[in-house]
Amino acid sequence: MRDAKLRVVLVAGEASGDALAAGLARQLRNSVPGIELAGVTGESMRSAGVEPWFDLDELNVMGLTEVLRHLPRLVRLRRSLIERIVAWQPDVFVGIDAPDFNLGLARRLRARGITTVQYVAPTVWAWRAGRAAGVARSVDLLLTLFPFEPALFRAHGLASRFVGHPLADEIAATGLARVGEPDSHGKRPPRIVLLPGSRRGEIERHASLLADTAAWLRQRRPELELRVLLARRAHGELLESLVGEKLRQAGVGVVCGATREGLGSADAAISASGTATLEAFLLACPLVVYYRLAPATYWLLRGLRLVRSRFIALPNILQGRSVVPEFVQREARPETLGREALAWIDDRRRLADYRRAAESCRRELAAGASENACRAISRLIGVDGH
């Protein structure tokens, strides 16, 4: 017979999910004394007091062909995780993002009588719209980061709630966002930061593109400050093995674990599509977005017409219009990315509309996400937090 302490399993699958889960974990600890937290964790979750059963890097794969290659290992991991969760008897399971893994896990746990929550909605508005019905069969509650998402799932009978976005909460609290400030590069050389993504596969696909883009920029603007921003220190060795010498020849610095600071001080960013593009937008950092998938994955997505959104960049999706340039697959070339980054620096008049859009988005998303998520989960399982 287990003790009476509240138990919560948290499972994240990448760096952005690790940060989301850490914020929720801290709020749960503050609200429910003696709570026990465990699951699949990253560094931030462990720092927030979540007991690590597995490391999130074990889930960190993306793309149809990439997932297929890792499928046997992921199936074994999920089976092992299910056994451990059921034996631990948690009060609730919370999957944070990573829907391809977490929703299958939640469905099996729900069938065994465990209450399940998904924190971060699958992007059914962008691709694979048919997933919405499957989400409703898998979880008892869906917590969304964007205000337009709950309606998409309520149509399938799923309790859904917009809680806000922690990135917006954090940026609003720190005052780092730039609104109508003077040109920051007037007293120093212009600074461009390059972001390959937070997943290992993204770094492997994008490293050469960014190194070549840096060389293109250096050749045309020798005075530029160029830096690569990596989400985790562990990715520094990977980048070094791939393009270390190229980056040194182009005079590019590498910064690990300080993405927000890097974006906050940059005059332009060239970023892989993902959470970092939203962070840049909320900071009002001028942005160029790109993405390259494995060719087979891209062919499948297009051939099967699984993609619905006309945009890949979160700022464009949220605004419903093109506020930042974006380039996919072969369109993502050193000269196109470099040229658009320089356009942000050379034509500062473009910034007025961009900053207004960023400020409006920041106000809407800064709703107290971690606190709202904690409150919704506590209410679901009948616990009164402080």
Which pLDDT value is given to residue 57?
A: 78
Which pLDDT value is given to residue 179?
A: 58
What fold characterizes domain 174-365? Rossmann fold (3.40.50)
Q: What percent of the chain has pLDDT over 70?
A: 86
Torsion, Cα 84 86 92 93, to 10 degrees, reads 50
pLDDT at 126 over 80: no
How many Å is the maximal CA-CA distance in the chain?
Answer: 69
Q: What would the pLDDT profile of 53-106 be if each residue is shown by its tens digit?
A: 999 877 654 444 455 565 677 788 889 999 999 999 999 999 999 888 899 999
- Picking from 149, 123, 270, the residue whose alpha carbon sits closest to that of residue 210 is 270
- Picking from 271, 276, 373, the residue whose alpha carbon sits closest to that of residue 327 is 271
Across the chain, mean pLDDT equals 88
Domain ranges of the chain: 7-164+367-380, 174-365
Q: What would the pLDDT profile of 256-312 be if each residue is shown by its tens digit?
A: 999 999 999 999 999 999 889 999 999 999 999 999 885 555 544 454 444 555 788
Q: What would the pLDDT profile of 131-156 be if each residue is shown by its tens digit?
A: 788 899 999 999 999 998 999 899 89
pTM of the model: 0.81
**Could you tell me which residue, 183 or 267, shows the higher pLDDT?**
267
Phi, psi of 313, deg, nearest 5:
-85, 130
Which pLDDT value is given to residue 3?
A: 55
User: What is the spatial order of strands in the sheet that 326-328 belongs to?
Assistant: 252-256, 225-230, 191-195, 268-272, 287-291, 326-328
Six-digit token string for 359: 């400020």
Six-digit token string for 59: 């889930």
Q: Mean pLDDT over residues 156-170, rounded? A: 95
Domains 7-164+367-380 and 174-365 share a fold: yes
7-164+367-380 classified as CATH 3.40.50.2000? yes
